[in-house]
Amino acid sequence: MKISKVGINLIKQFEGCYLKAYRCPAGVLTIGYGCTVNVKEGQKITQEQADNMLMKELERFEIAIDKLGVKLNQNQFDALVSFSYNLGSGIFKGSLLQAIKQQNWDNVAKQMAMYNKARVNGVLTELKGLTRRRNAEVELFLKQEEIQPIQLETHTTTINLFGDIAKVQTINKDNSNYVKLRDIQCDNIKVGYANGNVTVNGIRINLDDTNSINIDGSNYVKLRSVLEELGFVVGYDNVNKIISVR
């Protein structure tokens, strides 16, 4: 997986961007958006370099989380990238790793929140900035992922039905054409509706999520899948952009 803009903005918010090297509260040389790799005292960079360094750095944390071998939603993935970017990918071990493997999300969030301390002058001290960051990461980790509705549009398509040319409304989804069965009725294709069932030439059609979609109350079926199952041949003329049925 790849971190989303939400996760990147979260990291930027808490890391801040510093174009000159500085020492963080834990005494580690840091530059850009929290980059600590090969940073030199007094080093200076541009904003563009800082952005590029961040994206490059994020790649190894994305890989590390993918290697956990657990299915995560985007919010969980983003939160763990931010969490490990701040603490290091080696943070996933022991009881935290076990909770992730068990997909005990409440326990994962509880343990994430505990990492709000750093050594200051040799003393393990709670840092308000870390507490705010852990709270934000936990909130994102537990946030239900918003599923964006798929936007499907109808297009006028030319279909050659056994030699007769017809213009019908189609929907293209995942490189498949969907049509209303009643729009392709002809002498060779007789569509019937009775008792909630759909038939073609007297044969009942089993419609489900794999071969049909409903748009504004209208049912569109996957043309090739449904008709070829009934013995028809469906082709596509890439040059003239015409679907043929025979």
Backbone angles phi, psi at 166, to 5 degrees: -135, 150
Q: Is 24 part of the annotated catalytic residue set?
A: yes
pLDDT in the model for residue 152: 76
Backbone angles phi, psi at 32, to 5 degrees: 65, -135
**pLDDT band, residue 214 (cuts 50/70/90):** confident
Whose CA is closest to 152, among 174, 133, 168, 136? 174
pLDDT averaged over the chain?
91
In the block, tokens 């290091």 appear at 88
**pLDDT band, residue 149 (cuts 50/70/90):** low
Burial bucket for residue 220 (CB in 10 Å: 0-12, 13-18, 19+): buried
Given a contact cutoff of 8 angstroms between Cβ atoms, the answer to whether 13 and 21 are in contact is no
The yes-or-no verdict on residue 112 having pLDDT over 90 is yes
The yes-or-no verdict on residue 196 having pLDDT over 80 is no
pLDDT in tens, 18-51: 999 999 877 889 999 999 889 999 999 999 999 9
Whose CA is closest to 7, among 129, 133, 112, 176? 133
pLDDT in tens, 151-175: 678 889 999 999 999 899 898 888 8
Given a contact cutoff of 8 angstroms between Cβ atoms, the answer to whether 1 and 72 are in contact is yes
The yes-or-no verdict on residue 195 having pLDDT over 80 is no
Following CA atoms 128, 134, 138, 139 in sequence, which dihedral angle do they give, to the nearest 10 degrees? 40
**pLDDT band, residue 125 (cuts 50/70/90):** very high
Please state, in angstroms and rounded to a whole number, the distance separating the CA atoms of residues 135 and 79.
Answer: 10
**pLDDT band, residue 75 (cuts 50/70/90):** very high
Q: Which of 17, 24, 57, 186 is labelled catalytic?
A: 24
Q: Is 15 part of the annotated catalytic residue set?
A: yes
Give the least confident one: 58-72, 84-98, 205-219: 205-219
